[in-house]
Amino acid sequence: MVVSVLPVSVPSVEFDAKLVGKLSQLGPRYTSYPTADRFTEAFGYRDYLQAVASLRTRGSTNPLSLYLHIPFCDTVCYYCACNKIITKNRDKAATYLVYLKREIEMQGRLFSGMNQVEQLHLGGGTPTYLSDGQMADLMAHLRRWFQFAPDDIGEYSIEVDPRTVSPERVQSLRDQGFKRISLGVQDFDPEVQKAVNRIQPESQTIDIIAAARDAHFRSVSIDLIYGLPKQNVMTMAQTLAKVIKAGPDCIAIYNYAHMPHLFKPQRRIAEADLPSGEAKLDMLSLCIKWLTEAGYVYIGMDHFARPTDDLAVAQRQGRLHRNFQGYSTHAESDLVSCGVSAISAVAASYSQNVKTLDAYYEHIDKNELPIARGIKLNMDDGLRRVIIQMLMCNFELSIASIEMAYPITFADYFSAETEKLRVLAQDGLLTIDNEWLSVTAKGRLLIRNICMVFDRYLNAKPDPLRYSRTV
């Protein structure tokens, strides 16, 4: 199915191989600031309760964003860096749901009276590992403890493995309230699929996209990865042509980060099968060229969207937001997350749940939220978080707006950072004057490099082994 693209004036992105080769380095993805590797165990359950209490004291009326982590998968994909549990024993999911529902109830009680939800995302793992009945029960439980905005307002999304659903299940997900669906594809090439242990026939994916259209999902997204074993420019071109023909609303193209020292499944990938750095850049260049020609907008950080998609519209209107689930349209929402390893962002704090099932169950059996670590933001953190958000989402920063919102003079407070920015400006990544910092078309692809200039923690204590390359 091919969906026409409306001719809309949109931001562009330009691939400069020489510049990328010169500046690509290891760095954070900035789904938060401070980044999750800066969280500490000094922040615990009581600190989270204080953060929620501060919202109540201020009389917060902002809607909430909810995230649920479903960690289970049938089989392991060798490239995967997610927190997941590989099992065919469905009883484990049933037990997990009992505890997850208890955590949802605890959070619902905490946010009583300020529990309006405008955004929901289910990730994993594989959320559709749950049966249709289990999903229906989970959604009903959420609605008992939180007030959901109407379908035409809320952004309710779910990640789906096309191998785990039928067209009937897709319709059921829409009936249960989901309106955005994200499909894991990675690559259509059979040899690449075999190398990463994810056999997924093209027809299966296309059928699910068609089913999502028939079910009137508002947005259909596809995830691809470049840099996988056995990939080359030819196989990427073939996959990309099929994806463009299918016409999803959003396409995320991630750079595979091979970090077997952190993620055990990646040790099953033969490093000799990985494409060279030059081949990876050729694949990225191809993706940018073809998607741009097909009418997709570069949202930023691996994401392309049709000009009519909610994300592209939000970016044009200055409402785009970035969090642990990627880009979203709800910038003012506090994020409440449930499940193992899930991260919440409430008031001026981040908090992360424990990462194992045993620890998760132990905390909830004690009637306490399973928070393992986090961080309380100070004024400097909040200031830098706003700057990084603006750059990641809008590719520009109004210096005057920062000076109005914070008791600083930008040039003085960020004098060291400004010198680094001027070096990047000489490379053509940005322009900067007394009023604006604007990222160029060439700089958009290297936005992480620009944001890293403002990362106080990174400059004080770098930890490169935890990061992927910026491009």
Q: What is the pLDDT of residues 143-159, one digit of tens each?
A: 999 999 999 999 999 99
372 within some domain: no
Q: Which domain holds residue 244?
A: 38-335
Residues 268, 195: Cα–Cα separation, whole Å? 9
262: domain CATH number? 3.80.30.20
Residues 411, 457: one domain? yes
Residue 4 domain-assigned?
Answer: no
Question: Residue range 57-82: average pLDDT?
Answer: 91
242 and 162 inside one domain:
yes
220 and 144 within one domain: yes
Residue 232 contacts residue 284 (beta carbons within 8 Å): no
Q: What is residue 11's predicted lDDT score, i.e. its pLDDT? A: 44
Same domain as 317, residue 433: no
**Do both 410 and 441 map to the same domain?**
yes
Residue 196 in this model has a pLDDT that exceeds 80: yes
pLDDT classification of 140: cutoffs 50, 70, 90 = very high
Q: Is residue 186 part of a domain?
A: yes
Q: How distant is the alpha carbon of residue 229 from its chain centre? A: 23
Residues 147 and 229 in one domain: yes
Average pLDDT over residues 267-288: 92
Cα separations in angstroms, 397 against 319, 386, 417: 14, 10, 14
Bond before 34 cis per omega within 30 degrees: yes
CB 284 within 8 A of CB 15: yes
Residue 14, pLDDT above cutoff 60: yes
pLDDT at 24 over 60: yes
Question: End of a domain among 272, 305, 335?
Answer: 335
How far apart (Å, rounded) are the C-alpha atoms in residues 201 and 180?
A: 22
- For the cut 90, the answer to whether the pLDDT of residue 288 exceeds it is yes
pLDDT, averaged across the chain? 92
Q: Is residue 349 part of a domain?
A: no
pLDDT surpasses 60 at 385:
yes
- Indicate whether 97 pLDDT > 60: yes
How many structural domains is the chain composed of? 2
Geometric angle at alpha carbon 278, from 293 and 300, rounded to 5° = 45
Reported confidence tier of residue 1, pLDDT bands at 50, 70, 90: very low
> pTM value?
0.92
Q: pLDDT value at position 461? A: 67
State pLDDT tens for residues 444-470.
999 999 999 999 998 776 665 567 777
CATH number of the domain enclosing 435: 1.10.10.920
Question: Cα(384)–Cα(389) distance, rounded to whole angstroms?
Answer: 8
Residue 373, domain member (yes or no): no
Q: Report whether pLDDT(27) > 80.
A: yes
- For 175-195, what is each residue's pLDDT tens digit? 999 999 999 999 999 999 999
Residue pair 446/370 in contact (Cβ under 8 Å)? The answer is no
Domain shared by 315 and 443, yes or no: no
Residue 443: inside a domain, yes or no?
Answer: yes
- Residue where one domain finishes, among candidates 302, 335, 368: 335
Residue 5 pLDDT greater than 60, yes or no: no
Work out the average pLDDT over 360-381. 97
Q: Are residues 261 and 329 in the same domain?
A: yes
Mean pLDDT check: name the lowest of 22-36, 63-77, 425-439: 22-36
Of the residues 272, 306, 335, the one at which a domain ends: 335
Average pLDDT over residues 18-23: 86
- Please report whether residue 352 resides in a domain: no
Task: Give yes or no: residues 121 and 193 share one domain.
Answer: yes
Are 29 and 67 found together in one domain? no
Q: What backbone phi and psi angles, to 5 degrees, belong to 188?
A: -90, -10
Asked if the structure places residue 307 within a domain, the reply is yes
Q: Are residues 90 and 24 in the same domain?
A: no
272 and 126 in a single domain? The answer is yes
